[in-house]
Structure 1
Amino acid sequence: MLTSEAIAKAKLNTPYGTKDRFHEHDDCIRIAYEWLDAQKKIQGPTPKTRPLKHLIEQWAGRYVSQNDVEVAANMHPEIFGTYPHFNISTRLIEPSPSRLVGIAEAHTQSYKNRKPEVTYAFKE
């Protein structure tokens, strides 16, 4: 589990893609980290543009900002690139719901009820 101290440091060191920075809760970064961790890593950043934050929100049932995803990617030792062009396969993996166990903010909002924007190629 990512500590609040590690997240606070990462927020200071993350190269953000937006001028404004927005984080509702550290759990949003933890959620994004778990989603990214489940994806297959590839050699270079993907050229394909995907609405990653929306995919993560649908999976976790909670709002996640682009900035949350950027911090999570910055913290992950195997992820590089810039939002939304990280080094993850375009054949996305739907992470196991067990990854959200212990993240209190997961499933606290109605994002899970939205129409899926993508079909995952695999399930974890």
Structure 2
Amino acid sequence: MLSTEAIATAKLETRYITKVDIHHESDDCIRIAYQWLDAQTKIQGATKKSRPLKHIIEAWGGRYVSQNDVEVAAHMHPDVFGSYPHFNIASRLVEPSATRLDDIAEANTQLGYRERSKPEKTYSSKE
């Protein structure tokens, strides 16, 4: 589990794409994004393919996640590099196990996000 202190430090160190209106609703949003990124297959270089990663992560995590949350999670992950949305993750996405959310209090707490999820269209495989 990512500590509050580690997340606070990462928020200060992250190079955000936009320098204005940086938004973090909760540290749990960063934890959700981190878990999603962790489950993905890593590749040698940053992908050129653009995807709405924050929306994909929201649908899996069952709550709002900002682009800035995803940027911090990627900064914290030792195996992820690149800039949003062009990280070094394979184009064939892996649906993370729901058990990754078990210790994240705010996961699956906002109605509507899970209902919008279409895992069969988004993911190539399951963890």
Moved over 3 A (4+): none
Of 101, 111, 121, the match for 2:124: 121
- Contact conserved, 2:60 with 2:117, CA < 8 A, in 1? no
- Equivalent residues in 2 for 1:1-124, closer than 5 Å: 1-19=1-19, 20-110=21-111, 111-116=113-118, 118-124=121-127
Q: What TM-score does the superposition give when structure 1 sets the normalisation length? A: 0.97
* SS of equivalent to 2:122: coil
Question: d(CA) in 1 for partners of 2:115 and 2:108?
Answer: 10
Q: 1:119 Cα shift?
A: 2.3
Q: 1:115 Cα shift?
A: 4.7
How has the CA–CA distance of structure 1 residues 116 and 29 changed in structure 2, closer, same or farther, with 3 Å as cutoff? same
After superposition, what is the alpha-carbon deviation per residue over 1:71-102, rounded to whole angstroms, capped at 9, x for unaligned?
00000000000000000000000000000011
Question: What is the letter of the counterpart of residue 115 of structure 2?
Answer: N
Aligned length: 124
Consecutive unaligned residues of structure 1, counting only runs of 5 or more, are none
- Contact conserved, 2:95 with 2:125, CA < 8 A, in 1? yes
Q: Please provide the CA RMSD for this pair.
A: 1.0
After superposition, what is the alpha-carbon deviation per residue over 1:16-69, rounded to whole angstroms, capped at 9, x for unaligned?
011221000000000000000000000000000000000000001000000000
Q: What TM-score does the superposition give when structure 2 sets the normalisation length? A: 0.95
